[in-house]
Every structure is written in C-alpha cells, then in structure tokens.
Structure 1
C-alpha cells in the first residue's frame, strides 16, 4: 500500500481540530474549492511536501499528550491509501483516535467503488463531513465551520447501517 503523502503541512499540537490535543495532518489537494474555505492554499494538487507515513507515525508517538490525530486538508479522501495505512497503524499500536475532515458526505463515500476510500473510512473514528458553505457559516459550532457539516461516529454508523451523529455542541 502507498505510504507517501503529499502534505500542505502539519500542526503538532492543536485543540481546534477535534477534542483534546491533536496532531493534525493537512493534505495537499482538494477538488471542492469551497467559497470561504479556511485553507485555500491546500486546493492545488501540485506543490506540497511529500512525507512518508512511517516518518509521521514516529513523530506522532513522541508526544504523550496527544489524544488523537486529525486528517484535514485539502481533501483527505483524495489520498486515502496512505492515510488508511497510517490510521491502521495508529489504531494497532497506540491509544489514539482518528478524525477525518471531508467535503464529501458520508453517504457519498459509502457509494464509492474505491477500496482505499472504504479502508480510510473504516479506520476513521469520527468523520466531519460536508462541504463548507459560506451562507451556513456558524462560528459557535465546535470543530466545524458551517451548519450543514456533520460529526459522525463512523464505527457505530457502519455497525448499525445508518448515520449516527455525535454532538460536540451540547
């Protein structure tokens, strides 16, 4: 499986990209080009820095304060194979959870015929789905930018065969 990622960058300790202190991986490249996107510099597929998932894993496990790892972007599902590989290793060898941000909906991802997309989805604990919509922007939401974006418990959703939402705003 592919172990190289094209990255826009990383944030080694973030409290704004999911609950707890998180290591955030921003992938380079996004097809959505949402108006008002917080990370427009990640839209082009060219550029970025190529990093190996083993190198990222070794950097992540050095920090005992981390609660999890967040995949953001750009669009993580445009590089699903290496992210799935990293997420599997994180689940197998650490206590860290994985959050993936995506402009796609959960339902769109489930309909994909790409096995790597299903692999990344299966290794994602929490999915923040949906394109950012400027007209639905709400700065009071935790970890999301617009009201159409959902927080999904992926494991429960796959097990129950229906979308199971989490509420971080309560």
Structure 2
C-alpha cells in the first residue's frame, strides 16, 4: 500500500497492492497500522455506498459539527473526486485537490475532517463507497456550490454539459458565504 501526497498535505491518494491472476484479484483496502504509520489515525464508524449515473455531481458536502473524515473509493466506474480545505487556520484554506478514482485504478482518497467533498461521475454509472469517521448528521451538513467561482474547480464535465445535481446541491452557498472551521 502506497500513500501518495497531494498538493494539500493532509489529503492522501492511497494505492493498494493488488494481487491478481486468472481468477480475479485481491487487495487490502484498509489496514489500521499502515494508515496510522502514514499519519491517518482514523476511527471509522459508518460505511456508505452510492450509485450515480454519468454526469452526476454530488457535493461539495461537509458537516460543520461532527466533521467527517472520509476514505473514498470507486468499485464500479470512474469519478473525479474533489476535496476542498474549509479550515480557516490552514495554509491551504480554500484550495482543492482532485483525483480520478476508478474501479480500474483502484485508488482511494483520504479526505480528512475539515474538508468539503464532492465527486463527478465520468463513466456510464459509478458505485462509490466510503468509510466515515463520524456519523451522518443532516442538521450539521453544509454545501458549497460545485461551480463556485472562487474555488474554480476544474471539473472534467462530459461534453461540457451541465452536471446532474440534487435540489439540495443546487442550493449550495458560495465559498465566501460558507460556514468554515476555525
């Protein structure tokens, strides 16, 4: 298992070691001691699975209380996954990193507490699974608009078409208006 640094030091891309043959493959997706040695000391309390069709954009979500760290991966299809630093005290406040996660590349991303998270589906559909360090608390959930001009996220929109977003995500606030962490 390799832990690759990103432009934001707290966000990691994790490449598992994959063992395969004619029957299929095996890979370890989480190993507490290895993650801890890489600086990710997380206690996961909830696992989630979503399926989305091509062109769907989910996010940018975060919980202002009960902040969630997320270990995310794709088990079918491909997405462009994004983490945005929402911590005012951070030297990377307001910066984002993006990574293509797919069933093929088997990469994962560690999105620490204090970050907004979202993804855009590049394939016909995608099954997205993730582990969380805090339980979902809808009363604390916040959403920053996916197309916020200040963040200027370079979403790889299929054919330049507007993404499919939920009503809740369409009502997200601008980054400048967003409630942030200290």
Q: Report the TM-score, using the length of structure 2 for normalisation.
A: 0.29
Relative to total residues, which structure has the larger helix share, 1 or 2? 1
Structure with max Cα Rg: 2
Relative to total residues, which structure has the larger strand share, 1 or 2? 2
Q: Report the TM-score, using the length of structure 1 for normalisation.
A: 0.30
Query: Looking at both structures, which has the greater relative contact order when contacts are Cα pairs under 8 Å and sequence separation is at least 6?
Result: 2
